[in-house]
Amino acid sequence: MEAQNTPKQRIFSGIQPTGNLTLGNYIGALRNFGVLQNEYDCLYSIVDMHAITVRQEPSELRKACLRTMAIFLASGLDPEKNIIYFQSQVPQHAELGWILDCFTYMGELSRMTQFKDKSAKHADNINAGLFTYPVLMAADILLYMTNLVPIGADQKQHLELARDIALRFNAVYGDVFNVPEGYFPKVGARIMSLQDPTRKMSKSDPEECYIAILDKPEIIRKKLRRAVTDSDNSVVFDPENKPGIANLMSIMYALSDKSMDEITADYDGKGYGVFKDAVADCVISALEPIQKEYDRISADKAYLEQVMISGRERAEQIAWKTMLKVRKKVGLAALKL
């Protein structure tokens, strides 16, 4: 009797195209995506609809979307093995988002810490989209019958809401949505801000706080030389008492074959200047091939267009099937292809 192939579990991940993708994005996510594509059925969405909760320059947003797609590809994502697409080009995201709004409670949304943070940053534009942002995020995930969502600690709250919405919907209408689990990569490190090493490196921070994937070597070296450390010149991994040095050690550890003990043995007592330059060499070496591939891909507009169209079509095929089921369950008029 012939053995049946077990279907791969599905992974969904979305990333905003605004700002510059950082070294933290690469170490914590993009680098791992290249490994996942051989083990899972993966969708990677450039979530441009989420981006417009904050006012954007239209032409710059469109460029940013293409730049993000090119970085995905340059980082090793195979568009044949993965579905890479723009969220706004699959209208079922918005449709499911509205339906799930009707299954989400105001109290749940008011407790979302990201709404509070963004409201403080954009006090002149506290819009409804900012408030319901987590529901659209839930729709992004549930639309594709996702099994696993790669997340960091700061995104657990949003995934929990997506799970609660799925369970609530299923309790009313039966087994409609998969209830997704968090995926926590085995390989990776939490990379912190260069200027405030108690906070995660973020592309929404001032530029001196992060290393962008596309930063030139001289910029990388300059930012690392200015990275906040302490005054005792001891290269020892102690995140609580020496968060700046621990962060730089984490970067070297993630991008090299050295253990923390080996890094300490190689650089302790040599001075922070020497160590920072060594970290810069490590980062520059890791990003150089990605940057070269990015330059090649971003110059090939026809190829990017082909990836964009293929990704949209493949994503919409899955999304359409989900929405046929959801529309029928809630009583909306039937649609035919």
- Asked if residues 22 and 67 have their Cβ atoms less than 8 Å apart, the reply is no
- Which entry of 118, 223, 242, 276 is annotated as an active-site residue? 118
- Which entry of 156, 203, 325, 328 is annotated as an active-site residue? 203
Q: Is residue 292 among the annotated active site residues?
A: no
Chain position carrying tokens 């994005």? 25
A 10 A CB-CB count for 101 gives: 16
Q: Is residue 321 among the annotated active site residues?
A: no
Provide the pairing of β-strand 181-183 with 148-150. Answer: parallel
- Which entry of 116, 200, 270, 276 is annotated as an active-site residue? 200
Q: Is residue 203 among the annotated active site residues?
A: yes
Q: Which residues are catalytic?
A: 118, 200, 203
